[in-house]
Amino acid sequence: MKKIITFFWFLWLSCSLAWAQQSGSIQGKIVDEAGEALIGATVIIQGTSKGAASDADGNFILKNLENGTYTLLVSYVGYSTQTISAKVTGGETSVGNITLSGETRLDQVVISGSLKSEKITQSPATIQVITHDDIEEIATFNPGELLSRVKGVDFIRSGVVGTGVNIRGFNSNFNSKNLQINDGRLATLIATGLPFGPLTTQIKEDIERVEVVLGPNSALYGPNAHNGLVYTLTKDPRTSEGTTLALGAGNQSMLTARLRHAQVLSDKFAFKVSGEYTRGEEFEYVDSVYIDRLDENGNLGSDGVVEAYEELELDRDFEFLRGEAALYYSVNDESDLVLSYGGSNSTYLAPTNVGRNQIIDWKVNHLHLKYTSPRFFAQVYRTWSKTDDTYSIDERTKQYYRGLDAGLSDEVARGEQSYASKAKFVDDSRRWNAEAQYNNTFGGFDVVVGAQWQKDLANSKGSYLLDGEGKEDIEIDQFGAYGQVQKKFGNSGFKAIAAFRADNHEIYDFNFVPKVGLLKIGKQGTWRLTYGQGIASPTIMNMFGDLFSGLILGNSEGFTLEDGTVIEKQKVEKIQTFELGYKGQPVTNKLYIDANVYYNISTDFLSPVTVIGKAVKRGNTPIEEVQSGYAALGGLVATYVNFGKVNTYGLDLGVNYYFNDEISATLNYSYFDYAVDEDNLEENDFNKDGVVNKLDVLVNSPTHKASLGLNYRGKKFFGNVFTRWVQAYDYFSSFQIAAKTQDLVYRGVPVVENARSKDAFNYGPLGGFVNVDIGAGYRINSLLTVSGQVSNLFDSEMREFTASPFIGRLYSMELKLKVPAIGSKK
């Protein structure tokens, strides 16, 4: 027995020694051009997912490598990627110091333009990138503020919390034409189609970068990538190990605490977790509510007109609790399986086209499983949304006074009675999504093909959709298939691209969307000529809405009016875009230019909610069986329709100048205008008043806007000054109006600045301001950073959105602690 044990011990030892001679490791140190260590730089073995991150001293090691020659890709945000060759022959191989130099804009890699990694100059779309460093250095819990610095977008701030963008015109208080995607998931509400915005589950410290695509991208991303796309990518725990704690405070009683931890457990497993708690107080502002109130003689109020009242029980406090967790599993050296979960609970004020909503404990969750490899990508995820107490302040206020007029006590009138006309929004909706994608190269053609499936299960429990307590969900299925082919023509620098998408929707049927482009890629930059189409699809709210006792009804089936007029059911809005762009460094590597000109043809606009008259049928159903308030409304319906044909055109110019590795300046300018056939009353006279004007074509965008920024990014200090100018412009969206005095009548009332309109107070045009923001920070050491910023430094009177306050000065301070991972098993 002893001899047998000795034999096996000797055999094990021999095999171990033999294997040891066939395996080894690669180690080195990553530094910048000044010789200082770069912490958290990434080293990946080309063609695999095996890699390592540099530690606090810049050192890295790749273990358990078989003998052979390896190509290492060494990268760090803000620096150019280095390619290093290393040979393993047993034992430890040292590659010494690897020096990374500052990255130029030509080196940036994006994925949103073609659904695959490519240099930004070789993408067939106009893409702007908010980098990791941009996000890291802004001293606020809300990275959405950085969208104000992106070329070509109309940035909107609706308060301390609310930020958003519109791209190339036709904005509204209910805008679902700009798609938001987070890590490959649709980040939109299920019933309304609106971007999550403040409801997001992500925290700032987990965001790697944000890619903003200007113009339609429906050929790859489907409906509602109509005007543009905002694509957010989060960090991989294998290249961002460690713990980050951020504490912030500012005016408006703002306090925030955020925590992120990421760690590699083994060669197979890694994980990350993140969380945030933020609270504060919105700017002081009361939106007027106009109400028909009768005096004791049965007449309107004392001034003979509808009276204005303050919003009932307005609560300006906001509170957010959000977080995510993800587990990464390396199936092999080339493929990964990622399971992630995220959730948020949000309370805040949200502007709408009929006043403001009091968002109360609105919960959003997702569960996401995805598989990635060099050739295949697949994912399935579930999103769900839930709120029980959110309500329309405007409608609740009106119902409260109706109760008082009916003789109810104040206590009863402001209780459940105040929600009797469906002022409360209940949501218990879910959505399932699945996608499979394959890419490869065949005979010099780079091919990407994929298919997607989506099932919406909307349930408002009868509060704002045409469902009801105990009724089944509104179920809608849609399928999509897409493909893209790219071809480089030898060494000529020319590259052609063709893409398509085919969608079939249960309600609005089949749509086909193509895109083609030609690129001329040079050493200093790329010219791009593209043609693409986009579609904006009706949301579940547009199709099945049921608001304010049926005054607003969705248009999934069409209507028949008393006079026999047939209102067709809604269909998709369509846009065609021709675009010429250039991105590069034509003169010197210090100057970087990103410019485009475009021409759009838009048809079948999705209208804002509009009164169509008295209906007798919705589809084939008598209106009295659909409209819960039929006794009072008598079939009077407001809904959504398609109309019009408008051509829009413009240009976007971005100029960056790099004085040195630390100082740079940015200049952005955008021009936007439109043309409409004023003689085409049939298509373009939306309000049927016999003339085509701006009240038919709600452009809602400034003609000119510009910004200028100066940035300093040193080893210890960093800071920036950013100035933004927005030309004044008129804005109309359903009940909302912001316009100068002019010879027009909107919703039956003359357009007069600083006066009451029919349903809202007209404070005058939006924009018309110059805004200055400043920020600065200091890296005390490799662990601790302190920073601060002031938005609207000179406290200019700014109003960027209707049903929103005037934006005052905002300041905040932030303390951030970053601790490298301890006990990593990499």
Distance of CA 238 to CAs 51, 268, 273, 276, 330, Å?
A: 8, 10, 13, 22, 11
Mean pLDDT within 610-614: 87
pLDDT in tens, 515-558: 999 999 988 889 999 999 988 889 999 999 998 889 889 999 99
| Nearest-angstrom CA–CA distance, 350 and 425 | 13
The three-class DSSP label of residue 25 is strand
Residue the block writes with tokens 């002081």? 284
CB neighbours of residue 10 within 10 Å: 10
Contacts of 441 (CB under 8 A, 6+ apart): 447
Gap between the Cα atoms of 120 and 452, Å rounded:
26
Q: Is the pLDDT of residue 13 over 50?
A: no
Q: Measuring CA to CA, which residue among 501, 507, 451, 510 is closest to residue 477?
A: 507
Is residue 11 scored above 50 in pLDDT? no
CA–CA dist 464, 38 (Å, integer): 53
Residues 6+ apart with CB under 8 A from 247: 256, 257, 814, 815, 816
For residues 432 and 52, the model is more confident at 432
Q: What percent of the chain has a predicted confidence (pLDDT) above 70?
A: 91
Question: How far does CA 558 lie from the centroid of its chain?
Answer: 31
Per-residue pLDDT at 298: 54
User: Residue holding tokens 């409360």?
Assistant: 424
The structure tokens 């020319």 sit at 494
Token reading at 695: 């009240």
Tokens 């085919």, located at residue: 502
Q: Cα separation of 22 and 652, whole Å? A: 57
For residue 176 the two structure tokens come to: 């679902």
Contact 643, 681 (CB under 8 A): no
**For residue range 292-349, what is the model confidence (pLDDT) as tens digits?**
765 555 555 544 457 889 999 999 999 999 999 999 999 987 889 999 999 999 999 9
Q: Give the separation between CA 799 and CA 742, rounded to whole angstroms.
A: 20
> In the structure encoding, which two tokens stand for residue 264, read together?
């590699």
**β-sheet bridge partners, residue 339:** 327, 369
Calculate ∠ Cα 787-791-795, nearest 5°: 135
The full set of domains in the chain, from first to last, is 22-101 (2.60.40.10), 110-417+432-473+480-729+766-819 (2.40.170.20), 731-765 (no CATH)
Which three-class secondary structure string do you get for 77-113?
CCECCEEEEEEECCEEEEEEEEECCECCHHHCEECCC
Indicate whether 787 pLDDT > 90: yes
CB 220 within 8 A of CB 484: yes
Model confidence over 492-527: pLDDT tens digits? 989 999 999 999 998 888 999 999 999 999 888 899
In eight-state DSSP terms, residue 464 is: S
pLDDT tens per residue, range 131-176 = 888 999 999 999 999 999 999 999 999 999 999 888 988 888 888 8
pTM above 0.95, yes or no: no
DSSP assignment of 190-247 = TTT--B-GGG----GGGEEEEEEEES--HHHH-TT-SSEEEEEEEPPGGGS-EEEEEE
**DSSP 8-state code for residue 729:** B
Q: Are 218 and 177 in contact (CB under 8 A)?
A: no
Please report the pLDDT score of residue 20 as a whole number: 44
**pLDDT tens digits along 409-423:** 999 999 999 998 889
